Structure 1
């Protein structure tokens, strides 16, 4: 029986990064559940609510999704339509997997540029020039003073004020904090897609989508019974 692609051996550094990803995803999901439960109790028992609760849950959900996309590439958990690919022979399936990996890598590169260009103004930085690929940096209107609607500013982040907001105090959480997941998530996706593409090219994994190996094993066990 072949090794399932999600169980490929990794370096110690890769395993550490993977554990960090899992911990962050679990923490985000746990925080969403706890915050939502608290708000429900406050609303229906005490006739009160955390006015910033819904916005924080939305932010946490966005972080969870963007972290999850890259993590699913690592464990080969993304779904895909492979009806046509399965009609090909081994060489054809390998070729299709390599083409798909290259397309995903190109998409991840474009997404990385788009994520940076969108986030940069909120951090007081310059976006890249060039429509498809970075050709340099273009001066961008500073939007570091933009704040969220309801999320309160944390005192531990006050050091950002002299750094990006010209010393002015933030009344609410700046968007540069909540939008940070855009370049970070896009970078993690780029790294994971590159790893997956190299794995396909080197023959260490068959495709970028979830394997049907487990389904075949279950069918085989049913026939034995």
Structure 2
């Protein structure tokens, strides 16, 4: 991963730090909450009522952060048995084509994620079936809450802004759901960066990771050390 780190500068490095830090924190929080719940359940016959829902949200956040980070480090699996039959020229054209398709897919995913999240945040969804053509009014659902997670007191400043001054009993949904458009935006950014690298010749393929070959190389390296 050091080669990727050397290539990063400025904004890209900041985004990488956000991804890596978030992934580490989410994994840590999931482990801590699950461990505490196990101890409380089997040791004291009680538990954190909101624990399962919190871990579920954290796992979803982990997936959304992880999919963009995996594009950055080319860790996604890919089947290239057919692509390898071509010479470097056609192979590069296919890689560019795959990159364009992935960028379009990520753009559609971002639009869908925004349109799903926006009503929960009291914002307007985009118009247009596939590509955004503007914004259109959507039903304000900012008063929607999660099922079990209570809202901490330090977040009650959002009540006059999002809930017309009425108190939230549980965490408003727009907060955990905000990861949907944010994660989709990160994925779109990473696909655009990968496509640029392929076009410039700095990367031969988009997201291919040869997991089996890497495992074999690791075994050979271990045997060589013996």
Work out whether the TM-score is over 0.5: yes
Q: Partner of 2:188: helix, strand, or coil?
A: helix
Partner of 2:197: 199
d(CA) in 1 for partners of 2:85 and 2:205? 15
The alignment yields a C-alpha RMSD, in angstroms, of 2.3
| 21, 32, 35: which one aligns with 1:34 | 32
Partner of 2:172: 174
Bigger mean CA deviation after superposition, 111-120 or 210-219: 210-219
Q: Are 2:146 and 2:172, in contact at CA under 8 Å, matched by a contact in 1? A: yes
Give unmatched runs, 5+ long, in structure 1.
Answer: none
Q: Partner of 2:79: helix, strand, or coil?
A: coil
State yes or no: 1:127 paired with 2:119: no
TM-score (normalizing by structure 1): 0.91
Offset at 1:215?
Answer: 3.8
Give unmatched runs, 5+ long, in structure 2.
Answer: none
Partner of 1:98: 96
Could you say if the C-alpha distance between residues 212 and 206 of structure 1 is closer, same or farther in structure 2, counting changes exceeding 3 Å?
same
Partner of 1:45: 43
| 57, 73, 76: which one aligns with 1:75 | 73
Bigger mean CA deviation after superposition, 121-130 or 201-210: 201-210
d(CA) in 1 for partners of 2:198 and 2:146? 42
Q: Are 1:112 and 1:190, in contact at CA under 8 Å, matched by a contact in 2? A: yes
Offset at 1:19?
Answer: 1.8
Offset at 1:160?
Answer: 1.2
TM-score (normalizing by structure 2): 0.91
Instruction: Write out the 4+ residue segments of structure 1 that deviate beyond 3 Å after TM superposition.
Output: 3-8, 210-217
d(CA) in 2 for partners of 1:86 and 1:110? 29
Partner of 2:184: 186
Q: Partner of 2:100: helix, strand, or coil?
A: helix
d(CA) in 2 for partners of 1:39 and 1:183? 30
Could you say if the C-alpha distance between residues 75 and 54 of structure 1 is closer, same or farther in structure 2, counting changes exceeding 3 Å?
same
